[in-house]
Amino acid sequence: MRELTKKQKNLITRWVNEGKTKMPWESYLHYKIQTVQDLSPEQYAVLEGINDTEVLYQNVQRFISDIMARGQTWTKKILH
């Protein structure tokens, strides 16, 4: 399977949401993880262990970009 699994998506979503912050005077969120390069080697290894494909890097990058574009409301839907 070349696509991200539900387990991989849930992990990525959780990692992205764990690193978000918002300053009281700002109307937008700051995310610690904004690209696949922001993942630690250990986090990426976990994703590889679940389902390693030749396009994993691109799929993770695309999914993180989707989270950034859609914002917090979309990520809440995945986690619940």
Count, residues in the chain: 80
pLDDT > 90 fraction of the chain, expressed in percent and rounded: 54
- Residues contacting residue 21 through CB under 8 Å, at least 6 positions apart: 29, 30, 32
- Give the pLDDT of residue 79: 52
- Tell me the pTM: 0.77
φ, ψ (nearest 5 deg) of residue 70: -90, -25
Across the chain, mean pLDDT equals 83
What are the pLDDT digits (tens) for 41-68?
A: 999 999 999 999 999 999 999 999 998 8
